Homo-oligomer: A and B are copies of this chain.
Amino acid sequence: MQPSGETITQDCFDCPIRHRAVCARCETEELNLLEEIKYYRSFEAGQTVVWSGDKMDFVGSLVSGVATLSQTMEDGRTQMVGLLLPSDFVGRPGRIGSPYDVIATTDIVMCCFRKKPFEAMMQTTPHVAQRLLEMTLDELDAAREWMLVLGRKTAREKIASLLCIIGRRDSALRMNARSRSLAFDLPLTREAMADYLGLTLETVSRQVSALKREGVIVLQGKRHILVPDLDRLMEEAGDDSDGGLLV
């Protein structure tokens, strides 16, 4: 049976949280096929999931927690190139190694699929391949949006942009996306934020303090953040887009 793929839904596989994965809600055999090659892995905060250059024999998606993709130069300068939040996909079908370090910044659970059989299934199941293309295009959009942040925004705007991204993803998960205020935990240290933003941790700290002083955000402890007015924060981020990916 050839699934038509017209209704792509988000919650297909039975991971602990029913997260967005690679295929449509459908009752066809590839679901079972995927179930056969599926397994879960857990990592503790700080653990490296894959080292840059290493072979990576699985693809998968993040079920819970936060992980990062980063590149490091010989002299130690590092740049984060991706932030993995729950439901995000990791892996490069058709490629062997990983060009990035994948590091868990909190305890995480990943839902993995063995790569070889996964790739085989892609070849025979068009709409899985298409879902993957879909997700890769999303990642590409995110990467390019981040290029604008890195290349043209000020430190303050960078911080605001990061808070927007994390806050919105977090609240979308908790289904109160309509609200014009936010509350969430920062899953990153100041250093990790700096690596994502192309700044130093001191600059990050200073700008977070400044945003706090001016009431754009409220800090409860070092990591819990309240955003009383999301529009204000987005303005600080210099964001024209509502964050809605235009299709």
- Interface residues of A, Cβ cutoff 8 Å to B: 5, 53, 69, 71, 73-75, 77-79, 81-82, 92-97, 99-100, 122-124, 126-127, 129-130, 132-134, 136-137, 139-141, 143-148, 150-152, 197-198, 238, 240, 245-247
7 contacts between A and B (CB under 8 A): A71-B145, A71-B148, A81-B147, A92-B137, A95-B137, A124-B126, A147-B147
From B99, B127, B136, B148, A81 is in contact (CB under 8 Å) with B148
What's the least CB distance linking A239 to chain B, in Å?
A: 9
Contact partner of A137 among B75, B94, B100, B141, CB < 8 A?
B94
Interface residue from B73, B122, B126 paired with A240 (Cβ < 8 Å) = B73
Inter-subunit contact B130/A123 (CB<8 Å)? yes
Known: A136-B137, A137-B92, A150-B150. A144 touches B82 (CB 8 A): yes
Can you name the residue of chain B whose Cβ is closest to the Cβ of A95?
Answer: B247
Chain B residues, Cβ within 8 Å of A198: 150-152
Closest Cβ–Cβ distance, residue A174 to chain B (whole Å): 27
Q: How many copies does the complex hold?
A: 2
Q: Which of B74, B75, B140, B152 contacts A73 (CB 8 A)?
A: B152
CB distance from A72 to the nearest CB of B (A): 9
* A240 to B73 Cα, complex, angstroms: 7
Contacts of A127 in B (CB 8 A): 123
A152–B143 Cα distance when bound, in Å, is: 15
Known: A97-B246, A130-B94. A240 touches B79 (CB 8 A): no
Which of B136, B143, B197, B238 contacts A144, CB < 8 Å?
B143
The CA of A126 and the CA of B132, in the complex, are separated in Å by 12
**For residue A71, which residue of chain B has the nearest CB?**
B148
Cβ of A81: which chain B residues have Cβ within 8 Å of it? Answer: 144, 147-148
**Taking the nearest CB of chain B, how far is it from the CB of A180, in angstroms?**
21
What 9 A-B pairs are tightest by C-beta distance, nearest first? A151-B198, A81-B144, A150-B150, A143-B143, A79-B148, A79-B151, A77-B152, A150-B151, A136-B136
Contact check: which of B73, B82, B129, B141 meets A133 at CB < 8 Å? B129
Chain B residue with Cβ nearest A198: B151
Asked whether, in the complex, the Cβ of B246 is within 8 Å of the Cβ of A123, the reply is no
Report B-chain residues with C-beta under 8 Å of the C-beta of A129. Answer: 126, 129-130, 133
Which residues of chain B are near A147, meaning CB under 8 Å? 71, 79, 81, 143, 146-147, 150
